[in-house]
Chains A and B, each alone.
Chain A
Amino acid sequence: MHRWHWSRILLLIPFIAVLWVPFYDRAEPSLGGFPFFYWYQLLWVILSVGVIGVVYLLEHRGEG
């Protein structure tokens, strides 16, 4: 059993990224016609996959 693996602290990162609304409530810099507000949050969907994936791999390292 993995009671508490240190890597799980990384799971806080997506929370900080999306709860800090004043940081991303802006139109510029835009990307491919998308205002910052929209592409920043869509990008974090993908980055959050990366974070969870890394935690999973670190936690299950060396298991069959």
Chain B
Amino acid sequence: MNTTALTVFILLFAFVTAIGFGAGRWRRGDLSQLHEWGLGGRRFGTWVTWFLLGGDLYTAYTFIAVPALLFGAGAIGFFAVPYTIMVYPILYLVFPRLWAVCHKHGYVTAADFVRGRFGNRWLALAVGLTGILATMPYIALQLVGMQVVIGAMGLQGAGLAGELPLIIAFVILAAFTYTSGLRAPAMIAVVKDLLIYIAVIAAIIVIPAQLGGFGKIFAAIPPAKLLLPHPPAGSLGAFSAYATLAFGSACALFLYPHSITGVLGASGTRVIRRNAAILPAYSLMLGLLSLLGFMAVAAGLMKNPAIAAGFKTYANNFAVPGLFLASFPSWFVGVAFAAIAIGALVPAAIMSIATANIYTRNIYREFINPNCTDAQESGMAKLASLVVKAGALVFIFALPLKFALYL
């Protein structure tokens, strides 16, 4: 077990837990109103929204999975970069309008908007259910990200004891989401993003220096993986795969309930437009971070028996944790792993709030209790956020790790 890393990790985790519980008092609002609990009162300015959306969209799973894809499959994994380039013009054009309409009519979810725009509650139900269905496995993926770094610190055990750290982390998450609503991930996101920026900047300076520069790193990649294969005559082959993967993902990203929750939490349309211009800072970081996958190849991690064992359990998802273990002193490994685990908390919190909002607005109030009071509505949302997280936890334990890795 890596005691130093674990100590740093636990300290940072305790710090953000305190922030999470304290967040309910920040810009105090009446948390028995759904838009106060579930959208932070629509009061987040440019910078808070930047941290919130950055923490929301660039998840722990991204930090693990994108480099793992470059590590395993090569150039195709870099699609995350054009994807996150195209997503912001779309945010700029489409979502201020959605914000304005939702603000005017008090809509909290995308399904609320559909209900109002098309006047059909069944269509709204279909949109809401699609959102919930798409988000549940996404929350579970955040758990996978957390599982990998907890395991990488040597906390592995059989049965319930092995799952205990993850369960504790999720109980904490569930508790502060319940009490503080969207304010909690918004505040924690500031810490998370600072930690992630520190870890990534350190990694892209220190590791290439250890490996002899970027030229050497790229030279270690087999030519077939360094670039996309040129398609055979009469076919677009990997070119169209790369372009459509990026474009399709960009079209989809802001339709996820957790993205819409982040957007609707903004205090105005101008905040959203400004964020379209400043959020790409995260894309640049993601692009550089993805190259850790190539650094993991160049570092020859498989030759280190302790790290090769990690690959056996977590497959390519071990590329980033393994690289940090091999390249940094234990205390910094603790910082980096805490960044990833906290990077899982933020989106998981926002996702559970988003699905809770949908359940409450578009199922509970629409079909079960149309005459509910505001307090009943927000109480139901808090309860639903707990159910969603319990569901994700069950999902991850019932599902063998191998399958989760392929999601």
Contact = CB atoms under 8 A, between A and B. Distances in A.
Contacts of B89: 11-12, 14-15, 48, 51-52
Contacts of B100: 1
B88 A52 contact: yes
Nearest to A23: B239
A30 B215 CA distance: 9
Interface in A1-57: 1, 8, 11-12, 14-15, 17-19, 21-22, 25-27, 30, 32-35, 37-38, 41-42, 44-46, 48-49, 51-53, 55-56
Interface in B199-227: 213-218, 226-227
Contacts of A44: 81-82, 85
A32 B217 CA distance: 12
Main secondary structure of the interface of B (DSSP, over half): helix
A49 B82 contact: no
Interface string B86-116: 1011001100000010000000000000000
B78 A38 contact: yes
B177 interface: no
Nearest to A55: B92
Contact of B78 (A12, A27, A41, A51): A41
A27 B216 CA distance: 14
Interface string B237-252: 0011011001100000
A26 B227 contact: yes
Nearest to B230: A25
Nearest to B223: A27
Contact of B226 (A19, A35, A52): A35
Contacts of B243: 18-19, 21
A51 B92 CA distance: 11
B246 A18 contact: yes
A15 to B, nearest CB: 6
Nearest to B250: A15
Interface residues of B, number: 41
A59 B274 CA distance: 12
Contact of B277 (A17, A32, A56): A56
B277 A33 contact: no
Contacts of B28: none
A21 B270 CA distance: 33
Contacts of B270: 60
A24 to B, nearest CB: 10
Contacts of B315: none
Contact of B75 (A8, A32, A37, A48): A37
Interface of B: 75, 78, 81-82, 84-86, 88-89, 92-93, 100, 213-218, 226-228, 230, 239-240, 242-243, 246-247, 270, 273-274, 276-278, 280-281, 283-284, 287-288, 291
